[in-house]
Amino acid sequence: MYRQLLKGILVCGVTLISNSCFGQMLYSYTLKSWNIKGGVDSIVQNEIHIKNDDSTNTTIDTRAVSLYDKIGHLIENRSYDYETRKRFIVKGNLPVRTAYSYNDKGNLLEKINYDSGGSPGYKYVHALNPLASFIEVKTYYEPNKALVTVAKLSLDKEGNVIETKSYDTRGKLEYHHKYQYDKDNNCTEDVEVSQVTLKEDKSVFTYDKGNLIKQVVYLDFGETKTMVTYTYIYPKFDNKHNWLIRKMYYNGRLSQIYDRTIIYRK
C-alpha cells in the first residue's frame, strides 16, 4: 500500500495549515498512516479557535467525525463546519462528507465529496501504475461529469510520494511539489515551485520521538519573504498512547486546540 504523505499532520480530514501544503496530498487513509494505535471504530475531533490570545475565549470552528472499517481504512469523514454554516446558504441539514473506496490491496480507488444536501461534488479517481512507481489522480466535477485536473504522483520504493505535478484539462502545469522523508517515512520537506515566478516556497517538518508532528516552518521565497512557524504540543493521551488534545501555536501564539474522542472496537 502506498503511504499517506505527511503522516500524522492531518487527522480526520481536517487540515492544520493550508490545503496548498497538505490537503491535496492524502492518498492512503489508514489508522497506521495517521500513527493511531488500536482497533478504532471512529474518531470525533473538534477544532477549537482561540480568540484574542485568550484560552477561555473560544469557538468550535469544525467538528469532524471519521469512520473506519475493521482493517483500519477510513471509509467516511463527516464534517460539521460551524463557520461555513453561518456565512453561506446551507442546502440541507446533512454534514458535508467524503466517502472512500479501496481495492483488495488496500489502495484508494475513489474519493467523493458530498454537500450538506447529499449531492455529490468532486470525485477523485486514483490509478496506481503496474510498477507502483506513480499514481494518476483525475478530478471530476460530478454534477456535469467534467474533468477538472489530472495529477501525477511519483513514488519512491517505500511508496512515499516524492513529487506531484497537477495539470489542467489543457495540459498546462498548475502546481509542482517535491518532497523529502526521514528514515521513518515522515515527510520532512515540501517544496512548491511557483509556475508564475519560478520561486520556491518551502515547508520544513520536524517530529518528536513518537513520530508526532512537532513543528512546521513555512518559508516564502517570493516577494514577501515571509516565515511562519507552527508548533504543536500534546498535553493529553489515552491509555493506548493516542493523543486526545493537541495545541497549535502560530508564531508562538496559541491559535488552535484539537480535542478528539476515540471510540475503539470491542
For 94-119, write each residue's pLDDT tens digit: 788 999 999 888 888 999 999 888 89
Residue showing cell 490570545: 53
What is the pLDDT at residue 67? 94
Q: Mean pLDDT across the stretch 9-24?
A: 31
CB 112 within 8 A of CB 142: yes
By DSSP bridging, strand 200-207 and strand 187-193 are antiparallel
Q: Which residues contact 238 (CB under 8 A, 6 or more apart)?
A: 244, 262
pLDDT(14) > 50: no
What pLDDT shows up at residue 130? 63
Average pLDDT of the chain? 81
Tell the residue number behind the cell numbers 492524502, with chain if given: 26
Residue with cell 484508494: 108
pLDDT at 132: 66
CA distance 206 to 217: 9
Over 70: is that where the pLDDT of 93 sits?
no
- Grid coordinates given for 91: 442546502
Tracing cell 493550508 back to the chain, one arrives at 18
pTM to 2 decimal places: 0.80
pLDDT band of 8, cuts 50, 70, 90: very low
| 41-77 burial code (b ≥16 CB/10 A, e <16) | ebbbbbbbebeeeeeeeeeeebbbbbbbeeebbbebb
Closest CA relative to residue 62, chosen from 43, 46, 76: 46
With a cut of 90, say whether residue 215 has pLDDT above it.
yes
Give per-residue pLDDT as tens, 28-82.
Answer: 577 877 889 999 999 999 888 887 665 655 666 778 899 999 999 999 999 876 5
**Which residue has cell 503522516?**
7
Give the model's confidence band at 196: pLDDT under 50 very low, under 70 low, under 90 confident, else very high: low
CA distance readout (Å), 147 to 65, 102, 150: 29, 21, 8
User: Has residue 120 got a pLDDT over 60?
Assistant: yes
Which residues 6+ apart lie within 8 Å of 146 measured at CB? 140
3-state secondary structure of 98: strand
Closest to 73 in 3D by CA, of 28, 14, 131, 139: 28
Task: Select from 197, 182, 179, 248 the least CA-distant residue to 11.
Answer: 248
Supply 116's cell numbers: 450538506
Alpha helical stretches, state H, 52-194: 82-87
